[in-house]
Amino acid sequence: MESIDYLAEERKKAEFNVDEMKIVWAGSRRAFEVSDYISKLVADDPDLSFIFIECHRGIQGFSKEERTMLPRKELFKNTLRKSAYSWKHIIDHQLSEEEAERLRYFVDEPAFIDSHLGVFIPAIKGQGTKEQLKKWLPLAYKMQIIGCYAQTELGHGSNVQGLETTATFDPRTDEFVIHSPTLTSSKWWPGGLGKVSTHAIVYARLITDGKDHGINGFIVQLRSLEDHKPLPGITVGDIGTKFGNGAYNTMDNGVLRFDHVRIPRDQMLMRVAQVTKDGKYVQSDVPRQLLYESMVYTRQALVTYASGALSRAVCIATRYSAVRRQFGSQNGGQEIQVIDYKTQQSRLFPLLASAYAFRFVGEWLKWFYTDVTQRLQANDFSTLPELHATTAGIKSLTTTATADGIEECRKLCGGHGYLCSSGLPELYAVYVPACTFEGDNVVLLLQVARFLMKTVSQLSSGKKPTGTIAYMGKIEHLMQCRSDVEQAKDWLKPSAILEAFEARATRMSVACAQSLSKFDNPEEGFQELAPDLVEAALAHCQLIVVSKFIEKLQQDIPGEGIKQQLEVLCCIYALFLLHKHHGDFLVTGYITSKQGLFANEQLRALYTQVRPNAVSLADAFNHTDHFLGSILGRYDGNVYPKLYEAAWKDPLNESDVPDGFDEYIRPLLKQQLQTARL
Ligand SMILES: CCCCCCCCCCCCCCCCCCCCC/C=C/C(=O)SCCNC(=O)CCNC(=O)[C@H](O)C(C)(C)COP(=O)(O)OP(=O)(O)OC[C@H]1O[C@@H](n2cnc3c(N)ncnc32)[C@H](O)[C@@H]1OP(=O)(O)O
Ligand SMILES: Cc1cc2nc3c(=O)[nH]c(=O)nc-3n(C[C@H](O)[C@H](O)[C@H](O)COP(=O)(O)OP(=O)(O)OC[C@H]3O[C@@H](n4cnc5c(N)ncnc54)[C@H](O)[C@@H]3O)c2cc1C
């Protein structure tokens, strides 16, 4: 039966070519084709799109929207089945790495495979010697071993140098003894550890001859490759159910303790430092920070994933806002679409613009990461501090904004957004730990702040800042200039926007540096001023996102109306930030309150420009209905019949009279009858 497109009228209003925008969103025609093909493959293959569970009726299939009703143990087993099935598909069809990554993405269930591919393998690559890569990578790539990244402990996560697990070298046997000396040294959180991983990269204090050399990574086998039982001396399990039904609970985040577990010496990852057979500790000529290199990789990857998650929420909220009508009916006509309310637009459209902004900054960050890692291979470490600060900062900014944005989209969908079948509660629950893992977002901004303070202090010594901090080279101008905006439309000029963000970021950093200089003990000052430093770091990161969006627009972007739409979105992103943080821009003296009001006026005009294109801009994300997993976000907009239909699938509706009626409701009702008779 052909379905009716309830959003057809909206789609007719588009002033640009949606198919061309899909390519811009994907990054290239080839990336679009791969994503498009794999997302449909997943949606159309029940083994990938459905959840199969054994129950009293035999094996039953459930759709993605029903996932939150299912028990964790069954969900987990189903995820194992899907991972094995996906892996077989990848091998049988010889999928490329890009296609395989897309397959994992569209299956859309957190699983051990994420830790194996996203953290375990990058850690070996970043910290292993050539010989170690040769030995371990083929095993890992063929999934003959499955690994996780065991860094965080019960007592310490953010403070990596505070980890307690020990790796003590025993020269008599040429082995390390891995040990958990305290309860708080238990490894706690690693994804894939609880029930699946056979191996882990374990971060432990390296001790030789009684001397503590700090943290290093070690490859440790945890489970038998025969029967999967924990090896002697190892206690391992899952840490328990996490936030939200379904959600991240398909992942087995684990706990791990070692009781004097011995591993061969060559299982210490030795790119950064080595221990010789006679127990001598030798530091390589590469910086110690390379121990943290895999975190840089994953933080960079999380930025592109942020745009993916935000675009899903925005797509659901935009389509639903065009379907939903409230108030304003005249002469029996239709009510107003809620998307036409300016308040709805002022909450929704900045998120739409943010999704695009995060996409482009993610694209750039991937390029930057690749560039720096190539330099690292050639022993050029000069750009590593900038890469660390940028990945930390942009990961922090984009994941915080995305988690908040998903929750805002849920509210934008009113009451129905609170239903699990809207897809938004689970999306939020799955997504929100991204603000914590791979570095707590505040801790990461403090890293950016340290980098900025160093940059400011080096300016006087004549060191020329480059890359993302090149703007600080114009410090004299940026400390004094004033916005020349005279009317609302002046805020459309990229140069006006850029200077505003550069001046604000520079002034906030310089103000922090000046305050810091008043402290005798700089570390004490840093702690005292931390909230201001975090704000300065955020201002710098917002500047990066804005400037990368502007740079994107300087490229040749073909396609009818594409560039115009992106220009509007770029201005919305920047002016929304200016409006939200306008206190910063005012206090630092770059704009007057009148210029702030012009920005807001221009923002409202931009919302009007986006309005006819909103649904199509969301369509350009090219999300399948399966991937969205949302009745409110259905492509055809057929929301109400489907919501009604879905309600009856809830297990509570399996019978008219609920279990427990005889024990708990009937006596109450009877008691009321007796009371009434009295
Ligand atoms: C179905 C089948 C499919 C098959 C598919 C196949 C397809 C293949 C592709 C698949 C790809 C998948 C990708 C998925 C990605 C998403 C997966 C997400 C999973 C997430 C799991 C989560 C994992 C974790 O959370 S791991 C644990 C993370 N932990 C942290 O982040 C801890 C945070 N803390 C720290 O990083 C540090 O402690 C820090 C930085 C806060 C402090 O460091 P410090 O050393 O104690 O102190 P400090 O003095 O501040 O720093 C010293 C010095 O070092 C510099 N520094 C710090 N960090 C770094 C760094 N990372 N890099 C470089 N430099 C660094 C710092 O700046 C200082 O420098 P100086 O000032 O110059 O001295
Ligand atoms: C779903 C999930 C998956 C994970 N997967 C893995 C994994 O695979 N492997 C792994 O090793 N770990 C993993 N982790 C752990 C994760 O990396 C840590 O939780 C994270 O690094 C934060 O550390 P923490 O829990 O110690 O938080 P804490 O540092 O205890 O943070 C608590 C609070 O203190 C604040 N705070 C901490 N330090 C400072 C400071 N210096 N200044 C100001 N404020 C501060 C933070 O901002 C936060 O508000 C995972 C976590 C989650 C939630």
- Distant-in-sequence contacts of 526-533, Cβ < 8 A, 24+ apart: 526/449, 526/450, 526/453, 530/446, 530/449, 532/508, 533/445, 533/446, 533/449, 533/452, 533/453
Phi and psi at residue 312, in whole multiples of 5°?
A: -65, -50
Which residue range(s) make up the domain with 521? Answer: 295-464+480-619
Reported as a single tens digit per residue, the pLDDT across 254-297 is 999 999 999 999 999 999 999 999 999 999 989 999 999 999 99
Residue 60, SS3 per DSSP? strand
CA-nearest residue, atom 45 of ligand 2: 443
Same domain, 257 and 180: yes
Question: Quick check: is 669 in a domain?
Answer: no
Tell me the CA–centroid distance for residue 449 and ligand 2, in Å: 18
Ligand 1, from 119, 305, 463: best to mutate by most atoms within 8 Å of Cβ? 119
Out of 233, 258, 284, a domain closes at 284
The CATH code of the domain that includes 175 is 2.40.110.10
Q: How confident is the model at residue 595 (pLDDT cuts 50, 70, 90)?
A: very high
Strand partners, 178: 167, 261
ipTM above 0.95, yes or no: yes
Q: Are 204 and 216 in contact (CB under 8 A)?
A: yes
Share of the chain above pLDDT 90, in %: 92
Does the CB atom of residue 146 touch ligand 1 within 6 A? no
Question: Quick check: is 505 in a domain?
Answer: yes
Q: Which two tokens stand for residue 64?
A: 């993605």
Question: Quick check: is 355 in a domain?
Answer: yes
Same domain, 303 and 375: yes
Cα(553)–Cα(539) distance, rounded to whole angstroms?
A: 21
Question: Quick check: is 628 in a domain?
Answer: no
Same domain, 210 and 301: no
- In terms of pLDDT, which residue wins out, 559 or 677? 559
**pLDDT > 60? residue 368:** yes
Reported as a single tens digit per residue, the pLDDT across 635-677 is 999 999 999 999 999 989 999 999 999 999 999 998 866 666 6
Instruction: Out of 1-10, 308-317, 559-568, 594-603, pick the least confident.
Output: 1-10
Q: Are 18 and 618 in contact (CB under 8 A)?
A: no
Q: How confident is the model at residue 138 (pLDDT cuts 50, 70, 90)?
A: very high
Same domain, 122 and 151: yes
Atom of ligand 2 nearest to the CA of 119: 8
Question: What pLDDT is stored for residue 329 in this prediction?
Answer: 86
Out of 599, 619, 639, a domain closes at 619
Same domain, 301 and 270: no
Active-site pick, 164, 293, 438, 502: 438
Reported as a single tens digit per residue, the pLDDT across 436-492 is 999 999 999 999 999 999 999 999 888 899 999 999 999 999 999 999 999 999 999
Out of 227, 257, 284, a domain closes at 284
Same domain, 250 and 342: no
Q: Which two tokens stand for residue 395?
A: 């990961």
Question: Quick check: is 399 in a domain?
Answer: yes
Same domain, 490 and 520: yes
Same domain, 510 and 408: yes
Tell me the CA–centroid distance for residue 433 and ligand 2, in Å: 10
Does the CB atom of residue 217 touch ligand 2 within 6 A? no
* Number of structural domains found in the chain: 2
Same domain, 164 and 211: yes
Does the CB atom of residue 440 touch ligand 2 within 6 A? yes
The CATH code of the domain that includes 299 is 1.20.140.10
| pTM of structure | 0.97
Phi and psi at residue 551, in whole multiples of 5°?
A: -60, -40
For residue 205, the surrounding DSSP H or E stretch is strand 199-208
Only one residue has tokens 């084709």, namely 33
Question: Quick check: is 135 in a domain?
Answer: yes
Tell me the CA–centroid distance for residue 538 and ligand 2, in Å: 19
Specify whether 438 is catalytic.
yes
Only one residue has tokens 């194992």, namely 80
Same domain, 278 and 304: no
> Looking at the CA of 295, which ligand is closest?
1
Tell me the CA–centroid distance for residue 661 and ligand 2, in Å: 45
Same domain, 587 and 606: yes
Does the CB atom of residue 377 touch ligand 1 within 6 A? no
Does the CB atom of residue 148 touch ligand 1 within 6 A? no
Same domain, 275 and 160: yes
CA-nearest of 556, 491, 546, 619 to 16 is 619
Tell me the CA–centroid distance for residue 300 and ligand 1, in Å: 10
Reported as a single tens digit per residue, the pLDDT across 148-164 is 999 999 999 999 999 99
Q: Which two tokens stand for residue 198?
A: 């056979």
Share of the chain above pLDDT 70, in %: 99
Question: Quick check: is 162 in a domain?
Answer: yes
**pLDDT > 80? residue 1:** no
Q: Are 299 and 306 in contact (CB under 8 A)?
A: no
Question: What pLDDT is stored for residue 377 in this prediction?
Answer: 86
Does the CB atom of residue 442 touch ligand 2 within 6 A? yes
Question: Quick check: is 13 in a domain?
Answer: no
